[in-house]
Structure formats: structure tokens, C-alpha cells
């Protein structure tokens, strides 16, 4: 559905996007994840045809964005970062204006506007001026504008920036439901957002792709050696002695003394070994009470920091 081949964008001498290639299949919800300045907006603007790549090829639904811009762009609904600028229009006027820009046919227009206002939960405020709406509503107006031509592809640039937690939840749910009918590509610098909404993540840093995978696989890849958190009554410091008798423990680190007299440790074990049962039994035998014993999994955040960290090392070397 979306195909980028060796795409590069230079602003003057500055390389904002550096030779990136990826494919997005029909019906996928894909997250473009990266820190600020990574090149996410530039990439999205090239896909939507707003800016031209310096090099490379972008194919949207079989059409080259540069050679066949009208056919390529027709398939895309774009929600830019920020909110609609047409503050003096009502919600409905704005959506109608977007329908005209996208050349939605006269016969279809009325029905499409009605549908899209319903889908984005805006029917009740359709006659209000955009300037009088809250940030969350404005974001939905922008989304309605992107949806009105019923595009196959939806491109959403930082869809939750500036929203409060309730609005964030609402817009995420809305995006997830839109994923049933559209191919969605959204950018975000928020990891949890991408892992909650997207099936596939493209991590980009300093204009380069550092990983393309499912959120789950990215988490698993960094989960080298399991980490166990242990809170225990251990007045006589026996835990290190016990740890030595258990195969699979690589390291035990004392973290802190808690106010209730317990001690907190992290235990690093070999990959795929679960030492919890043995540890529990041995501590019980010594009459040491365990208050907490749990695996802490590597998170997408760990994966992200690791991938980006690796790239920094490569650059430094």
C-alpha cells in the first residue's frame, strides 16, 4: 500500500532523512516512533506529497507520488501536527471545505459529511465555531477533515500531542477503530502510545531506520537475561549465600533497605531460566519471609533506548 525505496531528504546540506526504505501493507496500523527531530514529520510530508524527496521513490497504492501525484494523494487523508487553522469556520463548514478540496462528488458529499461527523463524535457540535472548541474536539475536527474523502490511507502526525489524558484515551480508541477500515500510519515520540495502538513499529533516529518490528518482538529482543525483583526479610544477609546455591543466577544486587525492615534486591538470571520456585523454597526453609518476588520484563522503552543508544555508539565510534 505504501512503499518507500531509498528515500533521502536534505535541507540544504542537512540530511534530515537518510536512505530509508519500508513497506506498509493494506490494513496495517503502523507507528513511526522516534525522538523529536528524528525525521518523522519530514517522512510523513514526503508520503503525503507535501515535500519532495531529494532521492528515492515513494509509491502509494501503486502510484508514484512524484509521477502521479493526483492519483497518489487521492488515497491519503492527512492530519498534520497541531489543529485546524480555520478558526472562524464552524465544524461542519470546515469538513465541507475539506470535502471540496478533496473533490468529493456532489452526490456523496452530504452523506460523507454526516457519516464522518458521527464517526468522530462531532454531530452535536457541528454548528459551533472551531475557535470555541477544546483542544480535544479540535483534534477530532482535524481527523474528520482527513476522513471525509474516505481515503484508504490515514496519516496522523503526533495525534495526541497537547491533549489531556481523557482526550488521549478517546482519540486512541478512535484511531484503533479507524484501523479496521483504513491503513493507518501515525507518528509519535511516545512509546506507550505506539505499543497500544500499532501492530508494527518503525523506529527512526537521526533520519535513519533503526528497527522495524512488532512492539512485542522489540520488547523480546532486548529481554536478554531476566531480571527478578525481590523484597525479603533478611536481617542476617543470607540471601547472597542462598543465591550461590541456585544455578542460573548471574548476579544479585542489593538495592535498598525499606522502612519496614525488609530489603530489596534485583537478581539477574540467565535467559529462559526461572529461579523463582527454588528461591522461594530455599528462603522458606531459612524462615525468611518474602514480601515480593516478581519478574520485571524488558519494556518497549528499554528496546527503544537500547536501539537508539546503539546508534549513538556507532556514530561516536
What residues line the site for ligand ADP (CB under 6 A)? 11, 14, 16, 34, 36-42
**What's the grid cell of residue 302?**
528499554
CB 97 within 8 A of CB 88: no
Least separation, in Å, of the C-beta of 39 and ligand ADP?
4
User: Which of 316, 315, 221, 317 has the alpha carbon at shortest distance from 18?
Assistant: 315
Q: What's the first-to-final CA gap in the chain, in angstroms?
A: 38
C-alpha count within 13 angstroms, C-beta hemisphere, residue 14: 7
Least separation, in Å, of the C-beta of 204 and ligand ADP?
7
Is the Cβ of residue 225 or residue 309 nearer to ligand ADP in the bound state? 309
Residues 102 and 150: their CA atoms lie apart, in Å, by 10
User: Which of 25, 63, 66, 19 has the alpha carbon at shortest distance from 43?
Assistant: 19
Separation in Å, CA 302 to CA 34, 48, 144, 215: 14, 31, 35, 12
Is the Cβ of residue 14 or residue 277 nearer to ligand ADP in the bound state? 14
Residues 194 and 34: their CA atoms lie apart, in Å, by 10
Least separation, in Å, of the C-beta of 198 and ligand ADP?
16
User: Which of 250, 236, 247 has the alpha carbon at shortest distance from 286?
Assistant: 236
Is the Cβ of residue 11 or residue 280 nearer to ligand ADP in the bound state? 11
CB 182 within 8 A of CB 175: no
Is the Cβ of residue 96 or residue 208 nearer to ligand ADP in the bound state? 208
Is the Cβ of residue 42 or residue 149 nearer to ligand ADP in the bound state? 42
CB 205 within 8 A of CB 311: yes
Least separation, in Å, of the C-beta of 264 and ligand ADP?
38
Is the Cβ of residue 231 or residue 307 nearer to ligand ADP in the bound state? 307
Least separation, in Å, of the C-beta of 188 and ligand ADP?
10
Is the Cβ of residue 44 or residue 275 nearer to ligand ADP in the bound state? 44
Separation in Å, CA 117 to CA 122, 184, 306: 5, 19, 42
Least separation, in Å, of the C-beta of 206 and ligand ADP?
8
Least separation, in Å, of the C-beta of 86 and ligand ADP?
23
Amino acid at each position: 500500500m505504501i512503499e518507500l525505496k531509498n528515500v533521502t531528504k536534505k535541507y540544504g546540506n542537512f540530511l534530515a532523512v537518510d536512505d530509508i526504505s519500508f513497506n506498509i501493507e493494506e490494513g496495517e496500523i503502523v507507528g513511526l516512533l522516534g525522538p523529536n527531530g528524528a525525521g518523522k514529520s519530514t517522512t510523513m510530508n514526503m508520503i503525503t506529497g507535501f515535500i519532495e524527496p531529494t532521492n528515492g521513490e515513494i509509491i502509494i497504492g501503486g502510484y508514484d507520488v512524484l509521477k502521479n501525484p493526483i492519483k497518489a494523494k487521492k488515497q491519503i487523508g492527512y492530519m498534520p501536527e497541531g489543529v485546524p487553522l480555520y478558526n472562524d469556520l464552524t465544524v461542519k463548514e470546515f469538513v465541507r471545505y475539506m470535502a471540496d478540496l478533496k473533490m468529493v462528488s456532489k452526490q456523496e458529499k452530504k452523506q460523507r459529511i454526516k457519516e464522518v461527523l458521527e464517526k468522530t463524535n462531532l454531530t452535536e457540535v457541528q454548528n459551533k465555531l472551531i475557535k470555541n472548541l477544546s483542544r480535544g474536539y479540535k483534534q477530532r475536527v482535524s481527523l474528520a477533515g482527513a476522513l471525509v474523502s474516505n481515503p484508504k490511507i490515514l496519516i496522523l502526525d503526533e495525534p495526541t500531542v497537547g491533549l489531556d489524558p481523557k482526550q488521549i484515551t478517546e482519540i486512541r480508541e478512535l484511531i484503533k477503530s479507524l484501523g479496521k477500515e483504513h491503513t493507518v500510519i501515525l507518528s509519535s515520540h511516545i512509546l506507550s502510545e505506539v505499543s497500544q495502538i500499532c501492530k508494527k513499529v518503525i523506529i527512526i533516529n537521526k533520519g535513519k531506520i533503526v528497527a522495524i518490528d512488532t512492539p512485542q518482538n522489540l520488547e523480546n529482543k532486548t529481554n536478554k537475561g531476566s531480571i527478578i525483583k525481590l523484597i525479603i526479610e533478611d536481617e542476617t544477609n543470607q540471601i547472597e549465600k542462598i543465591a550461590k546455591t541456585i544455578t542460573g543466577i548471574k548476579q544479585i544486587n542489593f538495592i535498598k533497605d525499606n522502612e519496614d525492615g525488609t530489603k530489596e534486591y534485583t537478581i539477574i538470571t540467565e535467559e529462559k531460566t526461572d529461579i523463582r520456585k527454588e528461591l522461594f523454597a530455599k528462603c522458606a526453609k531459612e524462615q525468611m519471609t518474602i514480601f515480593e518476588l516478581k519478574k520485571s520484563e524488558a519494556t518497549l522503552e528499554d528496546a527503544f533506548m537500547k536501539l537508539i543508544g546503539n546508534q549513538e555508539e556507532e556514530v561516536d565510534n
